[in-house]
Amino acid sequence: MVSGFFDPRAAIHAMKGVPPRVQYSGRDGTYSYVVGERDPHTGRYVPKHTPLPFGFRAIVDMGTAQRGFMSYKPFDDSHLVPMHQPVDPNPPGPDYARVIRFNLHLETHGPAQLTLSGIIAQNSVFALFAGYQHATEAAAGKIPVWMFHQSEQITLRNRSGEIHWAPRISTCGWVARDVDRWGARTVPVPVAQVGNDNGGIPPLLPLVDPVAPTPTRPLPPANDAAPPANDDDPFAGMLPSRDAPPF
């Protein structure tokens, strides 16, 4: 499972086939925008990092969010599954890491992917995904706009007070999901909560917990919106997020 702008065959050998990506550093809590740039001396593609200042915004396509096991060398993301599905607890091999992955559209740079392998970073975005599952905007087929704030330091009591960086991200708005831009959904639209104590939404299974595979739940009928009037600007028509949590 790969995005439409990603050529995994080329990525096996070089940066040529790797899509633009947002890279989070657990060492200092910073972000950078990374693309493959050709070295004029060697002809090989090497990563070019551009720092992203805190406060940048990105549309996050929850309709194609993924999680599971992934290997970078050699590249293999065939074991990722849609976010709402359980993950086999057994890694396919010794070089595989647990990850979650989102397709983004950065306000300043355009399409990119965000892949997180650290448990602390994953927990931060799982909390956002849980909020998405309960949001009335999401039940209407919209996808969120995230703002990436300055990361914060946290202390791990179970590791003798070790200090680590954790992402600090908030949902600042919602936009209509343009199927022509993002492709078909692999993660269903959340079920509306009205008249149901739990909203009919199955609890999100943490990636770190072993879970047995279960049959895939069928997707509901497509209800993605038509493209916005200004198709060149995916942020056009963004609705601000409400101050109060939706649940």
pLDDT of residue 224: 56
Peptide bond into 74 cis (omega under 30): yes
pLDDT of residue 112: 95
Strands (E), 45-157: 45-52, 56-72, 75-76, 80-82, 97-106, 110-116, 142-156
pLDDT of residue 158: 66
Rounded Cα distance between 31 and 72, Å, is: 20
Length of the chain: 247
pLDDT of residue 231: 60
Percent helix, strand, coil in the chain, to 5, is 15, 40, 50
How many other β-carbons are positioned within 10 Å of the β-carbon of residue 3?
17
Collect all residues with Cβ–Cβ distance below 8 Å to 75 and sequence separation of at least 6.
8, 11, 12
Q: How far is CA 30 from each of CA 26, 98, 165, 231, rounded to the nearest angstrom?
A: 8, 21, 9, 31
CB 177 within 8 A of CB 143: yes
Tell me the pLDDT of the chain (247 aa) as tens digits: 333 334 444 433 333 456 899 999 999 999 999 998 888 888 888 889 999 999 999 999 999 999 999 998 888 899 999 998 988 888 999 999 999 999 999 999 999 999 998 888 998 898 899 899 889 999 999 999 999 999 999 887 766 678 889 999 999 999 999 999 999 999 999 886 443 444 344 444 444 433 333 334 444 444 555 545 456 788 988 988 875 443 3
φ and ψ of 91, to 5 deg:
-65, 150
Q: How far is CA 205 from each of CA 14, 62, 87, 127, 210, rounded to the nearest angstrom?
A: 34, 16, 9, 11, 9
**What DSSP assignment string belongs to 192-206?**
P-TT-TTTTPPPPPP
Q: 237 — alpha (psi -120 to 50), left (phi > 0) or beta?
A: left
